Chains A and B, each alone.
Chain A
Amino acid sequence: MSNIIGIVNYGIAGNVHSIKKAIEKAGGETLVINVPEEFNMVSKIVLPGVGSFKDAMEELENDGFIDVLKENKKPILGICLGMQILSTIGFEYGKTKGLGFIQAEVRPMLVDAKVPHVGFNTINVVNTNEILNGLENDEFYFMHSYEVINYTNIVSLTEYGQHTFVSAIKINNIFGVQFHPEKSREAGIKLFKNFINYKGE
């Protein structure tokens, strides 16, 4: 069976190319998804994201991706804003409904430190899972001002400015990571390898 990873290209998500490059470095085959019909051609989906929660949801809507994502049963990996929009609701530039896969809210980071949180930071895996297998205490690159507030689907936590936030989530075969694996050296390539080899539930 083919194992093509589809990368959803919506709006101005500039990191599509770097994600594609990293997945290919990890040995995977990719397809950049520009129209909803192309979901049929892939076996897994990566949801990137750059910009604001509100813009991202509007762009997904304009491109006709919302319904196909909601009905989708294939494994999903959401990256950064792509993880945040898996939540029920976001509070960036007003209140916006997300895709609603996880019961969560996206709110500004309230920390005693510089925001955005930018740089390499350590993840602490609290629930072992296929995607973060072998990466339990690795360092990944973060670049964000908002965080996902969730209590039930946490798989890893990260500390910043005396504050602990959710750095990865999982529900069924849907994963989300707040960091950028495509910008995290070998650890990021390993995460993509895990996603390529993931068999689903």
Chain B
Amino acid sequence: MKTRIIAKLDVKPPYVVKPVHFEGLRKIGKPSEMAKKYYEQGADEVMYIDIVSSLYQREMITEDIEKTARELFVPFGVGGAVRSVEDFSKLFHKGADKVAINTYAVQEDKQIIRQAAEIFGNQAVVVNIEAKKWDNNWECYTDCGRIQSGLDVIVWAKEVESLGAGEILLQSVDKDGRNRGFDLELCRKVVESVNIPVVVASGAGSLEDIKEVIEYARPSGVAIASLLHYDKTTINDIKIYLRKHNIKVSR
């Protein structure tokens, strides 16, 4: 299987921002323009995460989502502040192909995963897991790495699979925004504990980091943010590099 290379946009409307360790934000650009750039570079998917709406308990601003979807001819995932089946529906109508959920499912009602999967198909339901390491275990966090849940990541990953999630987006609270490599053990453990695709994020600081996590954890996809945002590399360069190291990626 070809590993998907996904461009991830962390958005504080109307800007893509770079969160450092899920705190402190730096403005980078407009989501629609950046998404188009990554599409043209060969991104297999674009993932748009509104990182503030959940925390501020407000509705997602969908204007930018619609605008971003317009230029893309690859799948477009959207997440952040999804609290109901109606929210899923609204985002699909704005052009999302999949919708990611975290906080509401962890804190309020996990059955929303099942309900959404039955209506929209499991391929359209992504569960976003924010993991933080404690000794040799990982705990699920919500609200962009701010709130503890007491829930074990591996237990939760298996549970969301049985509830009908079609994919897991795995982020690491410890590694996010630091550009110093992935939490390899976390990635491998989650990939091995479920039969649904797992996309790993948080930590790509170099081409070697991406290669390393693919070889070690065999995720279905790798989501990359700041490494791309500052034009340190392009999606195309990443793919050329991976192909050179015998990792299958799409053209």
Contacts and interface: CB of A to CB of B under 8 A. Distances in A.
Given A120-B2, A185-B74, A139 B166 contact: no
Interface in A116-147: 116, 118-121, 139, 141, 143-145
Interface of A: 12, 14-15, 17-18, 21-22, 25, 50-52, 55, 81, 113-116, 118-121, 139, 141, 143-145, 160-161, 180, 182-186, 188-189
A12 B89 CA distance: 8
A50 B89 CA distance: 12
Contacts of B195: 114-115
B97 A119 contact: no
A145 B73 contact: no
Contacts of B206: none
B70 A21 contact: yes
B2 A121 contact: yes
A143 B75 contact: yes
B75 A141 contact: yes
A49 to B, nearest CB: 9
Interface in B1-34: 1-4
Contact of B250 (A139, A145, A160, A189): A139
14 contacts: A12-B120, A17-B95, A22-B73, A25-B73, A50-B120, A114-B220, A115-B195, A118-B123, A118-B197, A121-B1, A145-B166, A160-B1, A183-B97, A185-B73
A182 B89 CA distance: 19
Contacts of B198: 114
Contacts of A22: 73
B4 A14 contact: no
B50 interface: no
A119 B4 contact: yes
Interface string B181-198: 000000000000001111
Interface residues of B, number: 34
Given A119-B44, A185-B73, A189-B73, A51 B120 contact: yes
B97 A116 contact: no
B1 A161 contact: yes
B129 to A, nearest CB: 16
A186 B75 CA distance: 13
A14 B1 contact: no
Contacts of B95: 17-18
Nearest to B89: A12
Contacts of A143: 75, 97, 123
Contacts of A141: 44, 74-75
Contacts of A18: 69, 95, 97
A41 B65 CA distance: 32
A114 B123 contact: no
A118 B97 contact: no
Contact of A14 (B124, B166, B167): B124
Given A114-B197, A118-B167, A161-B1, A183 B73 contact: yes
